[in-house]
Structure 1
Amino acid sequence: MTAGIRTGDGLEVRVTGGVVRGVREGELLAWRGMPYAAPPTGPLRFRAPVPVRAWGGVRAAGEFGAIAPQARVVRLARPATVLAKTDEDCLTVNVSALEREAGAPALPVMVFVHGGGYSAGSSRDFSGQGESFVRSGRVVYVSFNYRLGALGYLDFTRYSTGRRAFDANLGLRDQVAVLRWVRRNIAAFGGDPTRVTIFGESAGGNAITTLMTMPSVRGLFSGAIAQSPPPDAVYPRELSARWAAEYLALLREAVREVAPERVAAPPERLLAGADADDLVAASVALQVRTPDLYPGAFCFAPVIDGTVVPERPFVAFREGRAHRVPLVIGTNDREGSIFRGRVDILPRTPSRIADLFARAPGHARQVMRDVWPDLPARRSAADFGGDYGFWYPSTRVADTGSRYAPVWSYRFDFAPRLLKLVGLDATHGVEMFALFDRTDVPLARVITSLGGYEEYAAAGERMRHRWLHFVEHGDPGPAWPRYDETTRSTLVIDASDRIESDPRAERRRAWDAFMPALAG
């Protein structure tokens, strides 16, 4: 079989590594669990991805691959709730497309980066399947797994020795490997390798804004969509080194009960020999303590290593060194309201808020208190934290990015009645069920149980059509004006959509003063 040519039934495709056979699901064709790099196990644990190992014969590609090791393995997908297998051998990619006639023009490609705080999630989630986008007949859809937690987002390079080396930014390097895989292979699935849009939500949105500033992916994508990104969650090596040291101490505690002989091992041996479950347990412990010890920071995030991530992304956007491709970026109305209990990672407690005020310029503290007069009351604290993590840094990316390339800004405001009653409103991630036309998922049925189902689904459909228009044409359509620092035109997605100029201007100006390092 010639490389890049399907067999008669359209299911067998030659990709990097060998031949895969997908499955037919109604009008959809799907290829799942295809390796895009060698398993990052054994001597490759904590190393940059290396080329996929070739296989003989035809490899079945009908099932999703194992998900990256993580604490939470329950997903809401189809079937409703299942336990997914976790394994370090998780670097797999999935492609979905409609069956098309031979010789049909190649379609633009959407590559989705899943969220989950760089510590949870996978391409098995409903967003990773993307059926609603594929059924439009307008795109080829790609999703994938990448390394998470300490295995993907802590910098252990300081512990490298002559016998054991460690690389940084492994999850990001995995994402680069996927984009290179797409460039080499997507034509075999009917996709156009020159028209690739990367998009993601939450941590996936952070991946998008970070990838846009990385030299190694230049030319590998033509557009980007960042939904609810925390763009400033990219940290210097000094801070990442502190987290790595704290993690090692926690890891020693995790292995003390099961393998006491390993507790005193040098760092490189401890990291190389620890069981994945112990690595995850220490990851959870580090993640739980970080928000109080380092208010406003996320311990699992990209690190400015001088090579993969050469500089702070905000600097790259401000100085015009980010890739000059069209960008859609936005957040939800009340990003911070969902972050409670076990996921309380934002600076929304009194002590965390006090820490941020102590770091802010003196003149800015009263300006911020004028905007939030009842801090740290619960609602104001949630919105203060959501602004800090998501909304305000996203406005700075839009501002600086629009100086050099087309940018469109949005805010998702629609909330079904139940979410309003419980005080969540249009919180972090709420748009995903509607955008991906998965209002049949159990959680989506619950949040629309008291009304708002039709409006919620319709808002998602309008959003989806704009995303598809952007992927096809490089803009989301004529009704949505481009963003610039003069007007700051923003699409507000609600029961009926509208355009607002510089929404929340007073809040933005307060944050400009409070966080001068971003406002420059």
Structure 2
Amino acid sequence: MIRRWRHLALVLALVTPAPALAADDAVVEAPAGSLRGSEDRGIRVFKGIPYAAAPAGERRWRPPAEPAAWDGVRDATKFGAACMQPRPRAANIYAGDLPAMSEDCLSLNIWAPKDARGAPVFLWIHGGSLTAGSGAEPLYDGRALAKRGLVVVSINYRLGALGYLAHPELSAESPDRVSGNYGLLDQIAALEWVNRNIGAFGGDGGNVTIAGESAGALSVMYLMAAPQARGLFHKAIAQSAYMVSAPGLRTAINGMVPAEEQGKGLAAKLGATDLAALRAMPAEEIASEAPAKGFFPFPSVDGQVVPHQLVETFDKGEQAPVPILAGFNSGEIRSLRFLLPKAPADAAAYEAAIRAGYGELADLFLARYPAKAIDESMLAATRDAMYGWTSERLVSNQSALGQRSYYYLFDHGYPAMQEWNLHAFHAAELPYVFGTATRTPPLWPKIPDTLAEKKLSDAMTDYWAGFAATGTPRAKDQPDWPDYADQRGFMHFSDAPRAGHNLFPGVSALHEAVVCRRRAAGDIPWNWNVGIVSPPLPPKVSGCQ
């Protein structure tokens, strides 16, 4: 890891009162080197800054290394290459243009108020199933948040098999005897870079919020659990996170093939007889072929970067003790229907499948997800089992640590979204948080240019910026956001923000009971088999409903 400058950087941050600006206000003298960005209407932007080097080719699949130094003033006006990933094969609402791709992709981007001094830092981790995405996506433009006084950072990290492959030969050559989790190590390296350098851009390395959506929110949870990330951030935002079961590095747990065995299987399918052959393969081929061969990137429980299953870490209270803002969208699965199994023939078949899978909990399940509305019930059940349960678990766990915890439901719709039956779909909150309604991907349902939409976006941007600054989300002329500890307080974002209490009574308890029994059984994943595809519920054990 890139850690040896951290202590020195902390000392320098305490004695350096202001960013080191050159005569040209778009030039910054940072510990990493001199950088020239651009400035527009009071916001300075720096793009494509290398925070680490990704070992490539014959050194591929190693922890991030220190980036190469540079002489003189480095141009920082263009985004860096995206990390290697498959090109989208079909049109979808999330697809947009990517910059050039490369294994040399570990860069970050910064948006900072021109006059920033000790400003709160908001570090964004993009989503994309740990397979796709880039910190350069227009949807994540940081200007609106920077105008609220934040220094915004977006990052790239290794993806897919190039970021998460574990393999016995890789573990054997590692000093720690582990492999995989390289994308997570990249994120930690980015936080270390921010810790050392962000003061030069007007940011406060002692007030950093990590934030992400979907796989970015998954990453936020793993950073909260990672001992190596402790102290590098001070608040967390998790939008549509999913605390699903993860494979062990070498051990078969929760019905999942060990990560090293998955890596061996992928190598065989790619025709690579050993690690040297894998490293000799073009990165483009690995990135495009691994998904087609059934490889799904995921952090693995290695006992070091990922000490335990997330649920275990959070149950033990061993996660980072920081304030959290977490929530989900009412229509998460409307744009992710691949997560649903084929619908049963009729209501009788639906009910029979639920009773077979959920046993004595079937009545509770059917009361919440009735057979009379199969499609809506399947959408809601999968949403609640993955995103709803995770979000409430996060705020509940942090609240138990005595941390401020803020819970939300995004439930907003507009004409184009409704026309496509995508009400409050997965990631629909992003343009409201970032104030990027005009910068969505080409096929994204077009957001109307109306005062009502702008007011909702301004409110959400304010709330997120307020939380990043102080740990309490506040927005101008909007209701106070109740802490989750106050009768399960939450904020409902529909046509306007409305504070409430006790969202979906009993739902999280139902899914927690299912997860608890599956965890106790030890041989069943707990989130990918919801509703009609649920295996028979394990017997009730002590501590589980």
- Alignment partner, residue 531 of structure 2: none
8 Å CA contact 1:160, 1:268 repeated in 2: no
1:335–1:387 Cα contact (<8 Å) kept: no
1:215 paired residue number: 227
Q: For 1:499-510, list aligned pairs within 5 A.
A: 499-510=499-510
- Counterpart of 1:479 in structure 2 is 480
Counterpart-to-counterpart distance in 2, 1:266 and 1:338? 39
Q: For the residues of structure 2 that align with 1:81 and 1:422, how far apart are their CA atoms?
A: 19
1:39-81 superposed Cα distances (whole Å, 9 cap, x missing partner):
321343111111122122222111110001111379x9xxx96
User: Is 1:119 equivalent to 2:116 in the alignment?
Assistant: no
Distance 1:46 1:162, change over 3 A: closer
Match of 2:161 in 1: 150
| Deviations 1:87-108 (CA, angstroms, capped at 9, x unpaired) | 01000111111222xxx63111
Structure 1 residue identity aligned to 2:77: G
Structure 1 residue aligned with 2:196 = 184
Counterpart Cα distance in 1 of 2:328 and 2:278: 37
How much has 1:243 moved relative to structure 2?
Answer: 5.7
2:126 and 2:290 map into 1 onto residues whose CA distance is 19
SS in 2 for 1:278: helix
Q: Which AA in structure 2 matches 1:156? A: H
Q: 1:48 to 1:37 in 2, by over 3 A?
A: same
Alignment check: 8 A CA contact 2:214 2:242 kept: yes
Instruction: Show the 5 A alignment for 1:259-338.
Output: 263=271, 265-286=272-293, 289=294, 299-338=296-335
Q: Distance in 1 between matches of 2:151 and 2:369?
A: 45
State the distance in 1 between where 2:126 and 2:515 align. Answer: 28
Does the C-alpha gap of structure 1 residues 159 and 167 become closer, same or farther in structure 2, counting only changes over 3 Å?
Answer: closer
Query: Is residue 141–residue 436 contact of structure 2 (8 Å, CA) maintained in 1?
Result: no
1:334-369 Cα distance to aligned partner (Å, 9 max, x none): 2111113xxx1x254459x99x96996632234323
1:449-488 to 2 correspondences below 5 Å: 453-477=450-474, 479-484=480-485, 487-488=487-488
- Give a deviation string over 1:232-274, Cα, whole Å, max 9, x none: 35443246755654565455555xxxxxxxx3x4331232111
Q: 1:82 to 1:380 in 2, by over 3 A?
A: same
For residues 100 and 445 of structure 2, what CA distance do their matches in structure 1 show? 28
Matched, 1:107 2:104: no
Q: Distance in 1 between matches of 2:23 and 2:77?
A: 18
The 2-side partners of 1:163 and 1:462 are apart by 48
Q: Which moved further from structure 2: 13-22 or 330-339?
A: 13-22
User: Which residue identity is paired with 1:438?
Assistant: T
| Candidates 402, 405, 408, aligned match of 1:407 | 405
Aligned length: 485
Q: Which one scores higher on RCO, CA 8 angstroms, separation ≥ 6?
A: 2
Contact 1:95–1:142 (Cα < 8 Å) also in 2 = yes
Aligned to 2:426: 428
Is residue 21 from structure 1 mapped to residue 36 from structure 2 by the alignment? yes
Instruction: Quote the residue 2:537 is aligned against.
Output: none
Stretch deviating more after TM superposition (113-122 or 372-381): 372-381
Instruction: Tell me what 2:76 maps to.
Output: 61
SS at match of 1:168: coil
User: Is the Cα contact below 8 Å between 2:167 and 2:259 reproduced in 1?
Assistant: no
Decide whether aligned partners of structure 1 residues 320 and 446 sit closer, same or farther in structure 2, where only a CA change above 3 A counts.
Answer: closer
Distance of 1:200 and 1:15 partners within structure 2: 26
Q: Which amino acid aligns with 2:421?
A: G
Does the alignment pair 1:390 with 2:387? yes
For 2:497, give the aligned amino acid: D
Letter in 1 for 2:482: P
What amino acid maps onto 2:44 in structure 1? L
Partner of 2:494: 494
How far residue 332 of structure 1 moved from its aligned partner, in angstroms, is 0.7
Using the alignment, how far apart are the partners of 2:299 and 2:432 within structure 1?
Answer: 29
1:420 offset after TM fit, Å?
2.5
CA, structure 1 residues 436+11, in 2 after alignment: closer, same or farther (shift >3 Å)? Answer: same
In the TM superposition, residue 376 of structure 1 has moved relative to its aligned partner by: 8.9
Select between 366-375 and 52-61 the one with higher mean Cα deviation: 366-375
Which of 137, 140, 143 is matched with 2:151 structurally? 140
- Alignment of structure 1 residues 37-76 onto 2, 5 Å: 37-72=52-87
Q: What is the CA distance between 1:19 and its match in structure 2?
A: 2.2
Structure 1 unmatched runs, 5+: 255-262, 291-298
Report what 2:7 is aligned to.
Answer: none
Which amino acid letter does the alignment assign opposite residue 503 of structure 2? P
- Quote the RMSD (CA, aligned, Å): 3.2
In 1, Cα distance between the equivalents of 2:104 and 2:356?
42
Q: Structure 1's 407 and 360: CA in aligned 2 closer, same or farther, altered over 3 A?
A: farther
Residue 122 of structure 1 contacts residue 128 of structure 1 at CA under 8 Å; is this kept in 2?
no
Q: Deviations over 1:410-452 (max 9, x none)?
A: 1111111332233221111111112211111355896346x68
3-state DSSP class of the match of 2:371?
A: coil
1:114 and 1:127 in contact (8 A); partners too: no
Percent sequence identity over matched residues? 29
Q: Hey, what's the Cα distance between the residues in 2 that align with 1:481 and 1:9?
A: 45
Rate the CA distance shift 1:52–1:441 in 2: closer, same or farther, 3 A: closer
- What residue is the counterpart of 1:175 in the other structure? 187
Native 8 Å contact 1:433 1:444 kept in 2: no
CA–CA separation in structure 2 for the residues paired with 1:509 and 1:169: 31
Q: 1:253 to 1:146 in 2, by over 3 A?
A: same
| Contact 1:155–1:241, Cα closer than 8 Å, also in 2 | no
Amino acid at match of 1:192: D
The one-letter code sitting in structure 1 at the alignment partner of 2:292 is: A
> In 2, distance between residues paired with 1:241 and 1:502?
38
Amino acid of the structure 2 residue aligned with 1:483: Y
Structure 1 pair 461–130 and aligned structure 2 pair: CA distance change class (3 A): same
Query: 2 CA distance for matches of 1:376 and 1:150?
Result: 39
Which residue of structure 2 lines up, in the alignment, with residue 294 of structure 1? none
Is the contact made by 1:148 and 1:171 (CA closer than 8 Å) also made in structure 2? yes
User: What TM-score does the superposition give when structure 1 sets the normalisation length?
Assistant: 0.85
Give the 3 Å change call, closer, same or farther, for CA 443–332 of structure 1 in structure 2: same
One-letter code aligned to 1:268: L
* Aligned counterparts of 1:359 and 1:515: Cα–Cα separation in 2: 17
Give the TM-score, by structure 2 length.
0.81
- C-alpha distance 163-216 of structure 1, shift in aligned 2 (>3 A): closer
Q: Is this contact kept in 2: 1:210–1:231, CA < 8 A?
A: no
Partner of 2:529: none
